[in-house]
């Protein structure tokens, strides 16, 4: 067989392996985040029941319910920061597998609770697994996605969060009232039997992460197995990390985030995520209750929750395509502004069709914006700090997720929840847009640098 034919055959085989690897990474990551989104919204669907019936867990006030909803987010903060601390050292695959098992066990345990205290404890425990997943999948997908499709594939994966919200809303709508709230949490434990076994077999480790850790032989083997190309070098891969790499490039994980040139962007990206998750969790937790207080029945208020998350999925995917063309920064700033405008409209007595449309667009500007932020963050950092960067934004951002439900609970408890909460969320959106515009352009140009690095600089390139 001619040499050029053999080369073409090998290239075609590599392309097929790469597509298959990317498909498995994206599919498994998306399904993992579907259950994150399910966990996010399922609590909001049971809040009215827990408030109305003290026989479930005990007597709850609206402010207590808001605080209880935040326990899972404290766990997410712990899980995300822990995953970020170890993810750039032990790898993306291990953290993701542990997160799936941990999350599932927490959801099953929550279904068995009989008191407010144990419910809150297991919500916190569940959140640790959720945090590990959210902080890991962005780094994993960014290292498998081809250049020019990173925002789209990140949007597909993180759209799993609102998709899980849709699933929770649909299940809550069709679940018979007699079944109670516990089956909703048993459904959330399904990943340990449905998803974890598949991930054990099909989820690969990132070849780029292996290179960044100096495990070059394993990286080459994994590259051949997955079809994911390594940085193009004009010299053989070294056997050890270079000691002549720039000082900043020798720092890994959170150590790199605390130093120039990443420190200031990391602060801004964390603040953006804080705002995005404040909006996401605040609306998902309290939108059904606010709409019920405004005269809408249970089914109608759950429909608003469904429309909010559907709007986030569709709008987030469309916006991500624009982000791959013009850059994620300007798109994120625009969707923050869009959220402010629509949230300011929600307190008005709009016709039903217009109100549903406004809720859908608000979903694009709130939950959809957070999807775009994860894509921006995942592609902003170099490999050596990517897991830590995503973890920081997911973890610090969840502080906003803690604040959102608490604000909603305080306002609902004061009897001014509907109008005032929407205006507060609109102001947060405008501040998010302002912070986004302050973000400097990323200095990380991984694809371009890998394609042009000279032989003399090969060692320092693979070290980053």
Q: What pLDDT score was predicted for residue 336?
A: 93
Q: Name the token pair of 367.
A: 């939950």
Measured between alpha carbons, how far is 211 from 202 in angstroms, rounded to an integer? 21
Q: Name the token pair of 332.
A: 């994120």
Alpha helices in 294-366 (DSSP H): 298-326, 328-345, 352-365
Q: What is the DSSP letter of 215?
A: -
Longest CA pairwise span in the chain (Å): 79
Q: What is the DSSP letter of 60?
A: -
Q: Where are the domains of the chain?
A: 10-229+242-462
Q: Which residues of the chain have pLDDT under 50?
A: 1, 3, 5-10, 233-249, 445-464
| 43, 53, 420 from 46: Cα distances, Å | 5, 11, 23
The string of pLDDT tens digits covering residues 165-186 is 778 878 887 877 777 788 888 9
Q: What pLDDT score was predicted for residue 250?
A: 57
Q: What pLDDT score was predicted for residue 443?
A: 58
| 264, 265, 272, 352 from 438: Cα distances, Å | 10, 9, 11, 38
Tally the residues of the chain.
464
The string of pLDDT tens digits covering residues 89-138 is 788 888 999 999 999 999 999 988 888 888 888 989 998 998 888 888 88
Q: What pLDDT score was predicted for residue 386?
A: 80
Contacts of 79 (CB under 8 A, 6+ apart): 99, 102, 127, 128, 129, 130, 131, 132, 133, 135
Measured between alpha carbons, how far is 185 from 424 in angstroms, rounded to an integer? 31
Answer whether 340's CB lies under 8 Å from 292's CB: no
In a 13 Å sphere around the CA of 74, the CA atoms on its Cβ side amount to 13
pTM for the model stands at 0.73
Closest CA to 158 of 330, 454, 362, 390: 390
Chain centre distance of CA 161: 7
Measured between alpha carbons, how far is 100 from 126 in angstroms, rounded to an integer? 10
Q: What is 10-229+242-462's CATH superfamily?
A: MFS general substrate transporter like domains (1.20.1250.20)
């Amino acid at each position: 067989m001619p040499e050029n034919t053999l080369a073409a055959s090998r290239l075609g085989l590599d392309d097929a392996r790469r597509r298959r690897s990317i498909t498995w990474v994206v599919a498994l990551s998306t399904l993992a985040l579907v259950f994150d989104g399910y966990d996010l919204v399922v609590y909001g669907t049971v809040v009215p029941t827990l408030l109305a019936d003290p026989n479930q867990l005990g007597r709850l006030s609206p402010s207590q319910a808001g605080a209880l909803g935040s326990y899972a987010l404290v766990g997410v903060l712990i899980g995300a920061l822990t995953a970020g601390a170890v993810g750039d050292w032990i790898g993306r695959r291990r953290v993701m597998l542990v997160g799936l098992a941990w999350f599932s066990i927490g959801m099953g345990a929550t279904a068995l609770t009989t008191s407010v205290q144990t419910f809150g404890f297991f919500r916190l425990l569940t959140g640790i697994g959720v945090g590990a997943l959210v902080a890991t999948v962005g780094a994993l997908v960014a290292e498998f996605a081809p250049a020019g499709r990173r925002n789209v594939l990140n949007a597909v994966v993180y759209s799993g969060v609102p998709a899980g919200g849709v699933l929770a809303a649909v299940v809550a709508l069709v679940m018979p009232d007699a079944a109670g709230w516990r089956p909703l949490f048993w459904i959330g434990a399904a990943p340990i039997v449905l998803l974890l076994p598949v991930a054990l077999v099909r989820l690969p480790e990132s070849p780029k992460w292996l290179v960044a850790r100096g495990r070059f032989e394993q990286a080459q083997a994994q590259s051949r197995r997955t079809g994911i190309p390594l940085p193009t070098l004009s010299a053989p891969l070294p056997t050890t990390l270079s000691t002549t790499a720039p000082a900043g490039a020798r720092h890994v994980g959170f150590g790199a985030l605390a130093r120039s040139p990443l420190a200031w962007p990391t602060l801004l990206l964390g603040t953006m995520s804080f705002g995005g998750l404040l909006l996401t969790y605040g609306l998902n937790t309290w939108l059904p209750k606010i709409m019920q207080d405004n005269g809408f029945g249970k089914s109608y208020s759950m429909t608003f929750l469904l429309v909010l998350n559907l709007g986030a999925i569709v709008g987030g995917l469309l916006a991500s395509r624009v982000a791959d063309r013009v850059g994620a920064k300007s798109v994120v700033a625009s969707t923050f502004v869009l959220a402010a405008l629509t949230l300011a409209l929600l307190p008005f007595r709009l016709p039903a069709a217009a109100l549903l449309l406004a809720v859908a667009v608000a979903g694009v500007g709130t939950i959809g914006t957070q999807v775009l932020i994860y894509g921006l963050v995942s592609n902003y950092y170099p490999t050596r700090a990517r897991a830590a960067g995503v973890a920081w934004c997911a973890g610090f951002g969840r502080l906003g997720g803690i604040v959102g439900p608490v604000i909603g609970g305080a306002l609902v408890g004061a009897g001014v929840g509907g109008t005032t909460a929407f205006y507060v969320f609109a102001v947060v959106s405008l501040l998010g847009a302002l912070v986004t515009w302050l973000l400097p352009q990323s200095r990380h140009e991984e694809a371009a640098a890998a394609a042009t690095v000279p032989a003399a600089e090969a060692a320092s390139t693979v070290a980053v």
